[in-house]
Amino acid sequence: MINNSTPPSPRALKPVLSTRQLSMIAIGGVIGAGLFVGSGTAISAAGPAVLLAYIGVGAVVFLIMRMLAELAVASPDSGSFATYATRAFGPWAGVTVSSLYTYSWVVVIGFEATAGAAVVHGFFPAVAPWAAALVFMLVFTLTNLVSARAFGQFEFWFALIKVVAICAFLVIGALAITGALPGTDAPGLSNLTGHGFAPHGWQPVWLACLVVFFSFFGAESVTIAAGEAKQPAAAVRRAMRSVIVRIMIFYVGSVAVVVTLIPYDAKDIAAGPYGAVLARLGVPHATAIVDVIVLTAVLSLLNSGMYSSSRMMFAAARRAELPAALGRVTARGVPANAVLAASSGGFLTVVANYFFPTDSVFLFLLQSSGTIGVAVYLFIAATQIQTRRRMGAAEAEKLTVRMWGFPYLPALVVLILVGIVTGLAFDPGSQRSLLLSGLATAVALIAGVIKQLRSASAAAQRPETGTLPTAPESPHPQAPAGA
């Protein structure tokens, strides 16, 4: 039961994140285990044509981030798209999207803790997976409890390691493809066309889009971190402008290297395509190197997930959509109760790892997260469309970042997202995940409608006080539009 009688602490989040940190947070948000491990599953299922899934989904995500940038630059807020949804459609939308997003990240926290523990167990078999997961959860819970600056510093270095690793992989791969790497012959197009560009037809390519979406999920986290940035509007503009470059270079480029250098049906590609490529090129300790990079990637997302979900809870509490305790802030500017709530999923995963095999935990977490990312992106697109429709022409002209081709291009994005979900409904292998995600969405939607009805009832009973506020106060003065 939400208690609105006690207002949150007047303390607010502090603007402590630099533009440099925010840029690296944006980069780190889209480079996770989904790229280093999940891409192998997509490649094995779809063949070389998986490149089209990465290009297509990358283009759609880029357009969604452009829509979100329009909203975030105009009004940086830790609640980000949940706050904007509340303003556009009412409390029901804010509750729904914040619930879905928080749930998704809590699942990711558990997923990454489990993945990191599996890597450590591979290096040190004597260390039980549950013990490694517990250490990771304690370390990053404490990090996020210290300050946003501590989170930003960790994320900066994690992201830097991932970027350097991918750039090194791209350089080695390019040398091998051109035959310039000593001891290797140029493969030509044999691996791309030898068994057909789409050896299993085009349906697996379409279905691979879900794996790709899961990999890209996290790019939006920079707009949440903007609520604690020193120059929020400028930082968001800079980060969002480079989204397409990161996607094309890191994802499309590296996957292109993989499918060009080794056959899509190689036995070792599903387990780890990057390690498989480096091993075939004769790179010493290739598997161990990639495992270290994967560990860095999963810990980065664990850190980001804890931060993003805690700030989403904090903003929802400030909008009176969650208990007021989650909206309280420490003297260091940290929503400590929200951080502890966000970390709960990871600690539950530690318990699950103790009682169940790691593979069982992985499967449950993956299926329970499912298509929630697509639902969140649908809300972002719908919010931008509704917000722009309410603007007059003069007001829209004042926006320093605008979505292109309004309203036609945003509408196309919505149709594509709906099409992906519809396609998954006809795939027997995706139906269970789609069902679980649909149930989670229905629960969040019901909670949103209940909140809307209660807000309307409370406003009717207390007409002298007006309606409940639909957006939290900005944590610090908004940067000038031209910042």
Q: What is the DSSP string of 189-221?
A: THHHHTT-SSTT-SHHHHHHHHHHHHHHTTTTH
| Listed residue (105, 142, 94) closest to 336, CA to CA | 142
The more confident residue out of 414 and 297 is 414
CB 318 within 8 A of CB 79: yes
pLDDT digits (tens, 9 = 90+) for 380-416: 999 999 999 999 888 888 888 899 999 999 999 999 9
* Mean model confidence pLDDT for the chain: 83
Quick one: pLDDT band at residue 368, thresholds 50, 70, 90?
low
Report whether pLDDT(139) > 90.
yes
The more confident residue out of 173 and 477 is 173
Find the mean pLDDT for residues 421-436.
81
Quick one: pLDDT band at residue 228, thresholds 50, 70, 90?
confident
The neighbour count for residue 289, using CB atoms within 10 Å, is 18
Q: According to CATH, what is the number of the domain 19-460?
A: 1.20.1740.10
The more confident residue out of 199 and 271 is 199
- Token code pair at residue 131: 């013990």
Look up residue 52 and give its amino acid.
L
Quick one: pLDDT band at residue 467, thresholds 50, 70, 90?
very low
- Token code pair at residue 174: 């390019």
Give CA–CA dist 225/322, Å, rounded: 20
22 Cβ partners below 8 Å, 6+ apart? Answer: 152, 222, 225, 226, 229, 235, 236, 238, 239
Look up residue 402 and give its amino acid.
R
CB 97 within 8 A of CB 376: yes
| Per-residue pLDDT at 469 | 46
| Per-residue pLDDT at 223 | 82
Collapsing DSSP to helix, strand or coil, 17 comes out as strand
First to last CA, the chain: 42
Residue extents of the structural domains in the chain: 19-460
The 3-state secondary structure of 44-59, one letter per residue: HHHHHHHHHHHHHHHH
CB 269 within 8 A of CB 276: yes
